[in-house]
């Protein structure tokens, strides 16, 4: 069997759901379990609606609620036009009635507990799975709606509940195996679950990938497909570099490093249950089902190129903290060890996550998201030393399994950047040794990405001549000591 998960954009309207039906319809012999997200943006709307209700703005909350309701009914009508519509309409209506009741309760109490929030958010996937099942059946797919709240068992940590794997697996096998054996197609809402007592929970925002991985792992799927609206992972952001290519296969560790800084295709951590069981996970594009997408595996064969991908994260600030050289009057913390400890404690206190850190005994640079208001943190840090915040920075993150233990890559990277006149502010090589990250000026990102991509991805391993010939038209180019073809070309060789 396989798991096919369709994200919000893949089920955003009638047309999108029709494409999904076509994709699933052609795969019946692979015994798919289908997992769906809420219609695009619905979970966000439910968050807003419940917060409005809690803050006393019930009328506004209900106005938005009606829009959401209208959208779902419109999508349903576009898919079934008449056939068996009344029955499904009344099922949707029942869901909307209970949602309205919960919202009125929230407004009456003037409070939104995490437990109630999960209850409200669960409606997104309850509705979408109902609609998708109906659309499948109207197109001849023998689909069965399966209530995820009855199979996916979690603890009671609402908004980010932790799955109870054994009990979940037992229920998954018990309920889904017979359906699959008889050739039926189970459809489940992702993201939602329930406690053993049956109280609805969610697995955290974006959690339907996690659902897919849990279901795939629990049933021993041959593969898991995550259908979205992009071609998969790329060698870099195609908006920055038109030469960016789709990555065929990537290792789980590499994908995890990239996800931190790169485009948010998906969060690989949520795929862990699958990867742990060695089940390959494919990222595919529901708008272009022919494309092969990207396969994430526990162990991917090494890339031909030294790097697997280059990710850029803009909107970064760097906080520099320096221990004062002459300590008078003596600050509370002076020893380097205590300094680091106090420093990270301050970041922790202000819930400010560090993206990149580089340290010496007496100074520390921490790159953080620029959207954060740092005023209070800075005030706090001033107890430790001199603080300076630099704006308009960006992080470049180079990832590749082949970086491990490889000599000379850093020299090559910084050679390329030096050649382009790009200044590097901070450098860090992750403990995993499969990533090199550094901070540069935000405005240098396009040039840096272009140059590095040209240098590292033009070359196929074992065949440097091919690139040389293609790029220079005039025969092979002698490689420079830093190995940078980009530099060689720029130098007019």
Phi, psi (degrees; rounded to nearest 5) at 452 = -70, -40
What's the distance, Cα to Cα, between the start and end of the chain in Å?
A: 56
**Part in contact with ligand ASP (CB under 6 A); list of ranges 155-163, 202-210, 220-228, 357-365:** 202-210
**Part in contact with ligand ASP (CB under 6 A); list of ranges 200-208, 221-229, 302-310, 424-432:** 200-208
**Judged by CB, which is closer to ligand ASP: 206, or 302?**
206
| Smallest separation, CB 43 to ligand ASP (Å) | 3
**Part in contact with Mg ion (CB under 5 A); list of ranges 29-37, 159-167, 451-459, 474-482:** 29-37
Which of 9, 37, 134, 294 touches ligand ASP by CB under 6 A?
Answer: 37
Q: How many angstroms separate the CA atoms of 375 and 362, rounded? A: 22
Positive or negative torsion for Cα 42, 43, 48, 53: positive
**Judged by CB, which is closer to ligand ASP: 127, or 250?**
127
For 69, other C-beta atoms within 10 Å of its C-beta total 19
Under the criterion CB under 6 A, does residue 120 sit at the interface with ligand ASP? no
Which of 115, 205, 246, 277 touches ligand ASP by CB under 6 A?
Answer: 205
What kind and span of H or E run contains 223? strand 223-228
75 Cβ contact list (under 8 Å, min separation 6): 13, 14, 17, 39, 131
Tell which phi-psi region holds residue 56, choosing left (phi > 0), alpha (psi between -120 and 50) or beta: left
| Smallest separation, CB 460 to ligand ASP (Å) | 37
Which residue from 264, 246, 249, 257 is spatially nearest to 299, judged by alpha carbons?
249
Q: Which does 50 bind (CB under 5 to 8 A by kind): ligand ASP, Mg ion, none?
A: none
| Smallest separation, CB 232 to ligand ASP (Å) | 18
Q: Which does 184 bind (CB under 5 to 8 A by kind): ligand ASP, Mg ion, none?
A: none
Which of 154, 208, 320, 487 touches ligand ASP by CB under 6 A?
Answer: 208
Q: Which does 415 bind (CB under 5 to 8 A by kind): ligand ASP, Mg ion, none?
A: none
Q: DSSP code of 36?
A: E
**Part in contact with ligand ASP (CB under 6 A); list of ranges 35-43, 241-249, 334-342, 382-390:** 35-43
For 353, other C-beta atoms within 10 Å of its C-beta total 10
**Judged by CB, which is closer to ligand ASP: 43, or 435?**
43
Strand order in the sheet with 153-154: 153-154, 192-195, 200-202
Which residue from 234, 256, 254, 245 is spatially nearest to 402, judged by alpha carbons?
254
**Part in contact with Mg ion (CB under 5 A); list of ranges 4-12, 150-158, 227-235, 341-349:** 4-12
Q: Are 35 and 211 in contact (CB under 8 A)?
A: yes
What kind and span of H or E run contains 376? helix 375-381
Q: How many angstroms separate the CA atoms of 348 and 340, rounded? A: 12
The residues facing 121 across adjacent strands are: none
| Smallest separation, CB 210 to ligand ASP (Å) | 8
Q: Are 483 and 452 in contact (CB under 8 A)?
A: no
| Smallest separation, CB 37 to ligand ASP (Å) | 3
Under the criterion CB under 6 A, does residue 190 sit at the interface with ligand ASP? yes
**Part in contact with ligand ASP (CB under 6 A); list of ranges 14-22, 206-214, 236-244, 416-424:** 206-214
Under the criterion CB under 5 A, does residue 7 sit at the interface with Mg ion? yes
Which residue from 376, 401, 411, 398 is spatially nearest to 453, judged by alpha carbons?
398
| Smallest separation, CB 281 to ligand ASP (Å) | 15
Near ligand ASP in 121-150, by CB under 6 A: 124
Q: Are 315 and 395 in contact (CB under 8 A)?
A: no
Which of 14, 207, 218, 251 touches ligand ASP by CB under 6 A?
Answer: 207
Under the criterion CB under 5 A, does residue 37 sit at the interface with Mg ion? yes
**Judged by CB, which is closer to ligand ASP: 49, or 440?**
49
C-alpha of 300 from chain center: 19
Number of residues that bind ligand ASP (CB under 6 A): 12
Under the criterion CB under 6 A, does residue 8 sit at the interface with ligand ASP? yes
Q: How many angstroms separate the CA atoms of 412 and 457, rounded? A: 13
Q: DSSP code of 269?
A: G
**Part in contact with ligand ASP (CB under 6 A); list of ranges 65-73, 199-207, 287-295, 347-355:** 199-207
Q: How many angstroms separate the CA atoms of 241 and 232, rounded? A: 16
Q: Which residues bind Mg ion (CB under 5 A)?
A: 7-8, 37
Q: Which residues bind ligand ASP (CB under 6 A)?
A: 7-8, 37-38, 43, 124, 190-191, 205-208
């Amino acid at each position: 069997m396989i798991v096919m998960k369709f994200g919000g954009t893949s089920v955003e309207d009638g047309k999108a759901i029709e494409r999904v039906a076509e994709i699933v319809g052609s795969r019946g012999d692979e015994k798919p379990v289908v997992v769906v997200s809420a219609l695009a943006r619905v979970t966000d709307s439910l968050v807003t609606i419940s917060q409005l209700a809690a803050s006393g703005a019930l009328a506004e909350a209900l106005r938005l609620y009606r829009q959401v309701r209208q959208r779902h009914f419109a999508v349903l009508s576009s898919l079934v036009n008449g056939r068996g519509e009344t029955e499904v309409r009344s099922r949707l209506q029942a869901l909307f009635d209970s949602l309205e009741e919960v919202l009125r309760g929230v407004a009456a109490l003037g409070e939104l507990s995490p437990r109630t929030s999960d209850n409200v958010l669960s409606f997104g996937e309850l509705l979408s799975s109902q609609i998708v099942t109906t659309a499948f059946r109207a197109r001849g797919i023998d689909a069965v709606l399966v209530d995820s709240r009855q199979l996916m068992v979690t603890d009671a940590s609402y908004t980010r509940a932790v799955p109870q794997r054994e009990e979940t697996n037992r229920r998954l096998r018990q309920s889904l195996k017979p359906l699959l054996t008889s050739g039926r197609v189970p459809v489940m809402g992702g993201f939602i679950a329930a406690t053993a007592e049956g109280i609805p929970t969610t697995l955290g925002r974006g959690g339907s990938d996690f659902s897919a991985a849990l279901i795939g792992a629990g049933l021993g799927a041959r593969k898991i497909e995550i259908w979205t609206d992009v071609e998969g992972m790329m060698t870099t952001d195609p908006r920055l570099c038109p030469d960016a290519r789709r990555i065929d296969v990537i290792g789980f560790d590499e994908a995890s490093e990239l996800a931190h800084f790169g485009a948010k295709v998906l969060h690989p951590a949520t795929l862990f249950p699958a990867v742990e069981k060695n089940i390959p996970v494919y990222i595919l594009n529901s708008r272009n089902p022919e494309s092969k997408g990207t396969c994430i595996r526990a162990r991917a064969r090494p890339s031909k190129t030294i790097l697997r991908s280059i990710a850029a994260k803009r909107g970064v600030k760097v906080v520099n903290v320096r221990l004062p050289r002459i300590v008078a009057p003596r600050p509370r913390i002076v020893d380097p060890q205590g300094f680091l400890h106090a420093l990270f404690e301050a970041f922790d206190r202000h819930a400010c996550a560090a993206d990149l850190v580089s340290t010496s005994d007496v100074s520390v640079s921490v790159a953080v998201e620029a959207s954060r208001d740092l005023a209070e943190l800075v005030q706090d840090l001033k107890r430790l030393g001199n603080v300076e915040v630099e704006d308009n920075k960006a992080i470049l993150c180079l990832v590749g399994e082949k970086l491990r233990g490889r000599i000379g890559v850093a020299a090559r990277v910084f050679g390329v950047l030096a050649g382009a006149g790009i200044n590097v502010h901070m450098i860090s090589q992750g403990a995993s040794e499969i990533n090199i990250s550094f901070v540069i000026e935000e405005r240098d990102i396009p040039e840096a990405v272009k140059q590095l991509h040209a240098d590292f991805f033009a070359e196929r391993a074992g065949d440097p001549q091919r690139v040389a010939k293609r790029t220079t038209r005039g025969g092979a180019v002698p490689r420079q000591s830093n190995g940078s073809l980009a530099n060689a070309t720029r130098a007019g060789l």
